[in-house]
Chain A
Amino acid sequence: QKEVEQNSGPLSVPEGAIASLNCTYSDRGSQSFFWYRQYSGKSPELIMSIYSNGDKEDGRFTAQLNKASQYVSLLIRDSQPSDSATYLCAVRGDDKIIFGKGTRLHILP
């Protein structure tokens, strides 16, 4: 059974600080990794995708991948109240995406 593990939180971060979200996965053969943001009652919204080891930056977001450690992370710089949401780590397994349970992020004004 392929698993994606995340700390459920909540993670509380002051406005303007860096939020760090982490995820581990069980399938060593996984090749595609995604971070989605989900507001309460809404659908998952794709923030980042990452396919190779290292860092990938997009605006205030940086995704980091370490395949040897089976670890994916998401950094959010200059956190804003609008970043308060649940962040879903997702890993491609064959022709589907396997989601973690998500980490609730709360940005403190």
Chain B
Amino acid sequence: EPEVTQTPSHQVTQMGQEVILRCVPISNHLYFYWYRQILGQKVEFLVSFYNNEISEKSEIFDDQFSVERPDGSNFTLKIRSTKLEDSAMYFCASGRNMGNEQFFGPGTRLTVL
């Protein structure tokens, strides 16, 4: 069964460094998403992406964040200058149609020191 994959599974970085989190969505899906979950808190929406552009973003997704689909399979989240409060699990999700089910990858645990 096709699934969303994410790399790396765990990323440790120093405050102020740039990180890129990578995702390979399910191949016939057209809608892509990033969510994050701070330890012990709820899953929060960051950004949605369709047709090579951002379709919606949350207040969390400020100028330090960017997303890109550099080729036909990868979907990336970049954090330019990480802060301590960026430490969280970051989940990529994809869906075939807007409004229908979203399927989540296993997540990347980001630790900012």
Contact = CB atoms under 8 A, between A and B. Distances in A.
Interface residues of B, number: 26
Interface stretch (B12-20, B75-83, B94-102): B94-102
Interface of A: 31-32, 34, 36, 42-46, 49, 88, 92, 94-102
The residue among B56, B100, B101, B107 with the most chain A CB atoms within 10 A of its own CB is B101
Contacts of B87: none
A43 B37 CA distance: 10
B42 A100 contact: yes
Contact of B56 (A88, A95, A101): A95
B102 A46 contact: yes
Given A88-B43, A101-B42, A96 B33 contact: yes
A94 B55 CA distance: 10
Contacts of A43: 89, 91, 104-107
